[in-house]
Amino acid sequence: MDLRRLGRTDIRVSSICLGTMTFGEQNTEAEGHTQLDLAADRGVNFLDAAELYPVPPKPDTQGRTEEIVGSWLKARGNRDKMIVATKVVGRTAMTWFRDDGSPGRLDRRQIEEAVEKSLRRLGTDYIDLYQLHWPDREVASFGSNAARFVPLAPAPDETSIEETLAVLADLVTAGKIRHIGLSNETAWGTMRFVSAAERGVGPRVVSIQNAYNLVNRSFEVGLAEVAMREQVGLLAYSPLAQGYLTGKYENGALPAGSRKQLFNRLQRYEKPGAAAAFTTYIKIARDFGLDPALFANAYVTSRPFVTSNIIGATSIAQLEVALASAEVVVTAEMEAAVDAAHQLIGNPCT
C-alpha cells in the first residue's frame, strides 16, 4: 500500500482510507471490526469517521460509528499505528448533536463540545485529523463545487473562518487534535483558511475531503491547483458515485440491501445525463478487462492531487475489490479513453 504525505505534516497515510459511515447502520459492530481488520492487514493506516455517522443521520444512531471505531482500536491495542480522522458538523438545522439542542454551527462552544464527545466515543485522547464536515456559511451545493453559480446572502449569524480557526488552534495546543482539514469546501473557502493561517490565525489546513469520481471531476476546475500548490491534498469521497459506477444499478436493478434500496438517498447521482455517463464509464472499464468498481477506484487513487481515496463497503467482497484497486496501474490508454468520454459528458453529478 502506497503511503503519501498528509499536507505539510510528517504523517504518511495510506493511499486508501477506510470510510466507516456504514458502521452502526448497514454494518454491525462485528462487521465493522472485520472490515477494519482486513484493511489494516492490507496496509491501510488511515480511518475516516464523523460525529454525524452513521448515515442516514438520525438522533438515535448518531455517534455509533465513532464508538465502533473506538472499540476496535481498544480491542486491537493499535491506536498508535492508525491515523484517525473524524469531523464536526457544519451549519445545519439538525439539533441532536449538542446537549442544549442548538442547530449546528462552527463556533467555539459547539466545536469544543463536539471534540470532547468524539474523543470519548473513539476512546482516545487525541484525534489525528479533525475536519470541518461542511462550511458554516451558506454554499451553493454540498460537495462543494456547484455546476452553476447560485448567489447566496451570508447568514446573519455566520461564524467567521477566523473564529473557527481560533478554537481549533486552542485544541491543537491542548493536544486534543493534531491537524485540521476541510470537507465539502470550495476553492475560495480553502484559500481563505490557508490565508488566515499564513497571517498567524490558527493552524494550517492539511487536507480537503470532497466528492470526486468519474462523473464528478469538478474538483479539478479550481481546487486541484490549490491542492497541489498549497499541499492541501484531496481525501476523495464517493469514488464509486454511491455504487452507480460498480454497475450494480444497471438497467434499473435494485439489489436488496443496497443503499438505494434501503434509503433512496442517491439523488446526487440521478440527475439528467447521469445514467448515460455510468453506462459509458462501465463500458470503458470492461473494455480494458477490469471490474468497473476496480477501475473507478483506481482512477481516483491515481490522481496527482489525491492524498487518499476514501473507500466504503458493506461487505467483505466489496472491500476486497476496493483494496485491490490500489495495485491497478492506470495507463495512458485508459486516461485517454476517460478524458474523451469526459469531454462529451462533463460532470453530470455535481
Which residues does the annotation mark as catalytic? 53
- Which residues 6+ apart lie within 8 Å of 283 measured at CB? none
State the number of CA atoms in the 13 A half-sphere of 245 facing the CB.
Answer: 26
Rounded distance, CA 20 to CA 312, Å? 7
SS3 assignment, position 129: strand
Rounded distance, CA 24 to CA 68, Å? 7
User: What would the grid cell of residue 323 be?
Assistant: 483494496
Radius of gyration of the chain (CA): 19
Rounded distance, CA 320 to CA 191, Å? 37
Helix H or strand E encompassing 180: strand 177-183
SS3 assignment, position 203: coil
